[in-house]
Amino acid sequence: MGQYFFKLPDLGEGIVEAEIAALHVKTGDMVTEDQPLIDMMTDKATVEIPSPVGGKILTINGKPGEMIAVGSAMVVFEVEGAGNQNRNENENSDAEVPAEPAVEAPTVKKENIPKESDVKPAVKPDVKSAPASISDSASGEKSDNPLASPAVRQRALEADIDLYRVPGSGPVGRITHQDLDDFIAAGGRISMPGKQKRTAIQEIPVIGIRRKIAERMELSKRSIPHYSYVEEVDVTEVEKLRCFLNENRTEDQPKLSILPFIMMATLKGMEKFPECNSHYDPEHNLVRRFSGVHLGIASQTPNGLMVPVVSHAETRDIWNMASEMMRVSSAARAGKAKREELSGSTVTITSLGKMGGIATTPVINYPEVCIIGVNKIVPRPMVINGTGIEIRQMMNLSSSFDHRVVDGFVAAELIQYIKGALEQPATLFM
Amino acid sequence: MSMKCKLLVIGAGPGGYVAAIRAGQLGIDTIIVESDRAGGTCLIRGCIPSKALIHAADKYAQFTAHNGKGHLGIKLSAKPELDFAKTIAWKEGIVNRLNSGVEALLKKAKVKQITGWAKFKDAKTCEVDTQGGIVTIMAEHVILANGSKAAELPFLPFGGDILSSTGALSLTKVPEKFVVVGAGYIGLELGIAYRKLGSEVTFIEADTKILSTYDKELTAPVQQWLNKHDVNVHLGAKASGWQDNKLSYKDKDGNEQKIAADKLLVTVGRRPNVKGWGLENMAVDMENGFIKIDKYCRTSMKNVWAIGDITGEPMLAHRASAQGEAVAEIIAGKKREFNPVAIAAVCFTDPEIIAVGISHDEAKADNIETIVGKFPLMANGRALTMEAAEGGGFVRITARADNHVILGIHAVGPHVSELSGEFALALEMGARLEDIAGTIHVHPTVTESFAEASLAALGHAIHI
C-alpha cells in the first residue's frame, strides 16, 4: 500500500487558489477513479474535481469554505502499489523522524507544482469498486453524553437537571457553569411541558456561492451611488402579441414569456443609449462602452442568486432570445453553467415573475451601470385619452443606475424609450 | 461481641479504605473489616510493590549499561552487584510506610478498623472472625470492596515454584530461568523487570498477540523491547502442565514443547473474590461472575453497595477509589453518581503504555467518524534528552471528525504514564483538539507531544 497525494490541479485562467464548495467524500471512504471528489469554486464557476485514483481516502486537507492553493496537497489516498510520494511527514511509522525538523518546512515543497498529467498515479491501482463506507457519522442528535466538565455534571446532578436539556454555549455545545446558571435562572429546573425557550443559535458558514453573492452585493452597494427610477408600462398590446405568437408557434419554437420581449426592448434601449451598456472602471477613469449587448438574467438557483448571460443579444430574434435565456438559466440552476455563461454581461434584467411586486430597488450587477427590474403585470383601470376608462395590463419597470456615469435625464430617456417600445410592440421588430 | 454501625466496609483496599475515610470525614459511624493489613492488593501485593521492583530493576539495568564501554560518557569499572534480598526489603519498606499511612488516615477519620475474616449471615449482619473471637456487626449500610485475586490455572496451581504475581514480588533471589504464562500487562511488567535483573525470560501466551486488549501499533514498541532484549515470546501457545521444573505447552503449530524454569509465573487474569464470605446469603444479583451494580454502585439489595474489582472491569485501583468516594457521599445524603467519561489504564512495561478513552478502531465499530493525530517521541526534544525517544514511542489522539471532541488518547514510551492525568482531564472536560493545541505546553517536556499530536490531527503539526 502506498500513499497518493492529490494536489489541487491548475484550474486555468491564472487562478492561484480556489474555495472548497462541497466535499462528496469523507475520510475513510473508498473511492474509484473519476468518482466526484470535491467541488472547487473559482471566481465564477464551480468545478467538479474527480478522483485521480481509486483507493481509500486518508486525509482531506480542508473543509467547505476554505481556500486551497493550486498545487497544495488536497487529498491523501491510500492506494495499491507505491503511491506517488514517499514523503513520510504524515506517516505514522517509527522511521527516522527528524528531531529538530524546522529546516524541513513544507513550504519548500511548493516548487514543483504538478501539471494535470503529473497527478496520475505512478501505479495504476486495481481497485474493484469497493463498498462505500457505511460509517454514517452520528453527529449532533445522538451524542452519548452532554459535553460538560465533571464539576458542571455534579452541579446539574445536585440540582436535578438533565444536562441533555441544557443548551451549551461553549464550543460544539459544551455546557458551562454559566449555561447551567442561565438554565436555572430561566426556570429550567421546573420542567414545563409544552412551550420552552429556544436559545440555540445555529451557525451557518457563509461559503461558496453564498459568500460570493455577499461579496459582490457589498462591492456594488458600497462603491456605486445607486438611484432608482420606476415607471409604469402598458403591456396590453405586447401581451396580445405574445399570446398570438405562442398560439401560432412552430414546434421548435419555445413558449414565450414576457421576458424575451423585455429583453428585446432592453436591447433596443442599449443600442439607442449606449452609455447604459457599459462597465465603469473608476480605477482607470474609464467607461467601457460595449458594442455588443450581453444580457445578464438574474436567476434564483438552489445555491442562491446567479446571473447567467445571454450573449450578443443583437444577433438574436425573439425566439432565439427566449431559448438561449432558458438554456443558460437552467444550466445555472443545475449548477452546470460554464464560466463564460456566467460572466461578461453588459446590462442585467431582474425579474421575480409573479412575485414581482409593485416596485423594487435592484442592486446593480457590478461593474455594470444599469439594471432593469421587472415587476408583476396586473390589470388596472386606466384613463384612456383623458375621457374613457379601460382595463389595461399594467407592469412597472424598476431600474437602478450608477449615478457616477449615468445622469438622471439619460436614465429617464432610456426607460421612456423601453416603455415606448413595449407599448408599441411592432417597433421591437423594426 | 456484637456491634452496630451506620456503615460497614468490607475490604481495606483502594476502594474500601477510600470509602471508609470519606465516610468518616462526613461523620458517618464507620467500621472497616480487613483480614490482612490495610492497603489491599494495590498497596500490599500489586501496583506499589511491582512499581518498586520495576524501578529497582530499571536502575540495575542502567548501571549495568554503564559498565564496560560506558554510556553517555559515564563509565563504571565494575558490574553493579545485586543484593536482591535488600531490594525486596526496600520494597517492603515502601509497602509498610503506605500501609501504616492508610491505617493512620483511617484512624484520623475515626473509622473503626477490625482485623479478621468477615462472613455475612444476611445482607446486613456480618460475623468477623478476629483474634479476640467472633465479632458480630449489624450495619445500616454495607459496602462490598472484596477485590480480586490472581486467576489460577487448574493444571498450574500456585505454590512451590509456580508463582502468582504476589509470589513474584517476594522472591529471595532472581531466578535464572523465568517463564511467564500470560503476556498481559501484569505478566509483562514483572517479566520485563526480571529480564532487567538478569533472568532469562520466556512468555507463553495463548493469544496471537501480547497485551491483546490494545491495538498492535500501541504494543509494537513493547514487542520491540522484548525482541531487543532476547525475551522469547511464544504466541498461540497453550501451557498444559508442570513437572520437574519444566513447563509443557503446545506451540502454535500444535507441537508439544517443554521449557525449563526455576520459577514459573502465571498471570492469566484476575478473578473477583466472591467466595468464602457469605455473599450467597446476601441476595445480591450477579452479572458475569461479578456483583451487579448501577451507576450509584447500588447492588440489588437495598443499602448494600459494591465497588472495585468485585464489580467488574476495568479492575483498576483508581476506579475503585473513585467509586468508594462516590458511595460514601451518597450514603451521607449527597447526590453523586459514578459516571466518568473515561478511566485511564497504564501498563508499566518498557516502554510504558497509556490508554484513555476509545481508539479509532473502537470508534469505527460505533460508526463514529474520527480523525487521528500521532506524534512520535523521536521528534520530542525532552524525550531525546532522557533517552526516551528511541524505541518507537508516540502519543496518539483520536477525535470525532465532525466536531473534534477528543474520544481517546493513547501513548507509548518511557515515562508516558505521567501524562495520563492530563489525558484523563482532557476527556473529562470534553476537550476538543483545538483546546489541547491551544494550551501552551512547557518546553522542553514530553507533554509537548500531546499538543503536537492534536496539531497533527488538525493537519498542521509543527515538528513533524
**B316 shares a domain with B171:** no
Which of A68, A103, A172 has the highest number of chain B CBs within 10 A, making it the mutation to test binding with B?
A: A172
Considering CB atoms only, which of B367, B400, B464 is closest to A101? Answer: B464
Is the pLDDT reported for residue B405 higher than 90?
Answer: yes
Q: Please report which confidence band the pLDDT of residue A85 belongs to, taking 50, 70 and 90 as the band edges.
A: low
ipTM over 0.85: no
- Is B340 domain-assigned? no
pTM for the full predicted model: 0.60
**pLDDT higher at A131 or A193:** A193
Domain interval for residue B261: 162-268
Is the pLDDT reported for residue A114 higher than 70?
Answer: no
- Is B339 domain-assigned? no
Buried b (16+ CB within 10 A) or exposed e, B284-312: beeeeebbebeeebbbebebbbbbbbbbb
Is the pLDDT reported for residue A251 higher than 70?
Answer: yes
Q: Three-state SS for A265?
A: helix
Which pLDDT score is estimated for A99?
A: 40
Is the pLDDT reported for residue A230 higher than 90?
Answer: yes
Is the pLDDT reported for residue A139 higher than 80?
Answer: no
d(CA A147, CA B405): 9
d(CA B10, CA B19): 10
- Tell which CATH classification among 3.40.630.10, 3.90.1640.10, 3.10.129.10, 4.10.320.10 matches the domain A144-185: 4.10.320.10
**B356 shares a domain with B215:** no
**Binary contact (A157, B337; C-beta < 8 A):** yes
- Candidate list A118, A162, A317, A407, residue with the active-site label: A407
From B253, B268, B283, the end of a domain falls on B268
Q: Please report which confidence band the pLDDT of residue A181 belongs to, taking 50, 70 and 90 as the band edges.
A: confident
**B381 shares a domain with B251:** no
**Using a CB-CB distance cutoff of 8 angstroms, which residues of chain B are in contact with residue A157?**
335-337
Is the pLDDT reported for residue A17 higher than 80?
Answer: no
- Is B156 domain-assigned? no
**Binary contact (A99, B394; C-beta < 8 A):** no
Residue of B nearest to A62 (CA): B459
Is the pLDDT reported for residue B19 higher than 80?
Answer: yes
Residue of B nearest to A102 (CA): B463
pLDDT over 70 for what percent of chain B?
100
Reduced 3-state DSSP string for chain B = CEEEEEEEEECCCCCHHHHHHHHHHCCCCEEEEECCCCCHHHHHHCHHHHHHHHHHHHHHHHHHHHECCCECCECECCCCCCCHHHHHHHHHHHHHHHHHHHHHHHHHCCCEEEECEEEEEECCEEEEEECCEEEEEEEEEEEECCCEEECCECCECCECCEECHHHHCCCCCCCCEEEEECCCHHHHHHHHHHHHCCCEEEEEECCCCCCCCCCHHHHHHHHHHHHHCCCEEEECCEEEEEECCEEEEECCCCCEEEEECCEEEECCCEEECCCCCCHHHCCCCEECCEECCCCCCECCCCCEEECHHHHCCCCCHHHHHHHHHHHHHHHCCCCCCCCCCCCCEEECCCCEEEEEECCHHHHHHCCCCEEEEEEEHHHCHHHHHCCCCCCCCEEEEEEECCCCEEEEEEEEECCHHHHHHHHHHHHHCCCEHHHHHCCCCCCCCCCHHHHHHHHHHHCCCCCC
- Is B463 domain-assigned? no
**B21 shares a domain with B108:** yes
Which pLDDT score is estimated for A166?
A: 87
| C-beta separation of A166 from A156 below 8 A | yes
HSE-up of B442 (CA within 13 Å, CB side)? Answer: 4
Residue of A nearest to B390 (CA): A94
Q: Please report which confidence band the pLDDT of residue A29 belongs to, taking 50, 70 and 90 as the band edges.
A: confident
d(CA B297, CA B325): 11
The Cβ of residue B240 has, within 10 Å, a number of other Cβ atoms equal to 16
**B371 shares a domain with B225:** no
pLDDT over 70 for what percent of chain A?
82
**B90 shares a domain with B9:** yes
Is the pLDDT reported for residue A265 higher than 70?
Answer: yes
From B299, B331, B363, the end of a domain falls on B331
Q: CA dist B261 to A328, B14, B180, B214, Å?
A: 85, 34, 9, 28
Q: A209-429 adopts what CATH topology?
A: Chloramphenicol Acetyltransferase (3.30.559)
Is the pLDDT reported for residue A70 higher than 90?
Answer: no
Q: Does A403 touch chain B (CB under 8 A)?
A: no
Chain CA centroid to CA B275, Å: 23
Which pLDDT score is estimated for A51?
A: 85
Which pLDDT score is estimated for A267?
A: 96
Grid coordinates standing for A278? 457599459
Domain boundaries, chain A: 2-119, 144-185, 209-429
From B268, B298, B317, the end of a domain falls on B268
Q: Please report which confidence band the pLDDT of residue B346 belongs to, taking 50, 70 and 90 as the band edges.
A: very high
Grid coordinates standing for A193? 411541558
Is the pLDDT reported for residue B108 higher than 90?
Answer: yes
State yes or no: is A279 an active-site residue.
no
Is the pLDDT reported for residue A227 higher than 70?
Answer: yes
Q: Kindly report, residue by residue over A271-310, the tens digit of the pLDDT.
A: 999 999 999 999 999 999 999 999 999 988 888 899 999 9
Average pLDDT for A391-418: 96
Considering CB atoms only, which of A97, A134, A148 is closest to B464? Answer: A97
**B376 shares a domain with B308:** no
Residue of B nearest to A57 (CA): B371
CATH of the domain at B248: 3.50.50.60
**B286 shares a domain with B398:** no
Which of B295, B386, B429 has the highest number of chain A CBs within 10 A, making it the mutation to test binding with A?
A: B429
**pLDDT higher at A227 or A66:** A227
**B186 shares a domain with B78:** no
Q: Kindly report, residue by residue over B34-45, the tens digit of the pLDDT.
A: 999 999 999 999
**B6 shares a domain with B136:** yes
Q: Kindly report, residue by residue over A328-374, the tens digit of the pLDDT.
A: 999 998 888 888 888 999 999 999 878 889 999 999 999 999 999 99
HSE-up of B308 (CA within 13 Å, CB side)? Answer: 31
**Binary contact (B430, A138; C-beta < 8 A):** no
Q: Which of A207-211, B256-260, B413-417 has the lowest mean pLDDT?
A: A207-211
Nearest C-alpha of chain B: how many angstroms from A89?
6
d(CA B310, CA B313): 9
- Is B255 domain-assigned? yes
- Is B399 domain-assigned? yes
| C-beta separation of A307 from A345 below 8 A | yes
**Binary contact (A99, B389; C-beta < 8 A):** yes
Is the pLDDT reported for residue A120 higher than 60?
Answer: no
Q: Does A358 touch chain B (CB under 8 A)?
A: no
Q: What residues contact residue A228 under an 8 Å CB cut-off, 6+ apart?
A: A361, A362, A398, A399, A400, A401
Average pLDDT for B211-221: 95
CATH of the domain at B384: 3.30.390.30
d(CA A88, CA B216): 20
**pLDDT higher at A182 or A290:** A290
Average pLDDT for B365-380: 95
How many domains are contained in chain B? 3
Average pLDDT for B266-292: 95
**Using a CB-CB distance cutoff of 8 angstroms, which residues of chain A are in contact with residue B371?**
27
**B324 shares a domain with B423:** no
**Using a CB-CB distance cutoff of 8 angstroms, which residues of chain A are in contact with residue B463?**
100-102
Q: Three-state SS for A325?
A: helix
Which pLDDT score is estimated for A79?
A: 82
Among B431, B459, B230, B239, CA closest to A150: B431
Is the pLDDT reported for residue A100 higher than 50?
Answer: no
Which pLDDT score is estimated for A364?
A: 96
Q: Please report which confidence band the pLDDT of residue A68 belongs to, taking 50, 70 and 90 as the band edges.
A: confident
d(CA B325, CA B19): 5
Q: Which CATH architecture has domain A2-119?
A: Beta Barrel (2.40)
- Residue window 31-70, chain A: list those with CB within 8 Å of chain B: 59, 61
- Is B157 domain-assigned? no
Average pLDDT for B177-206: 97
Which pLDDT score is estimated for A127?
A: 35
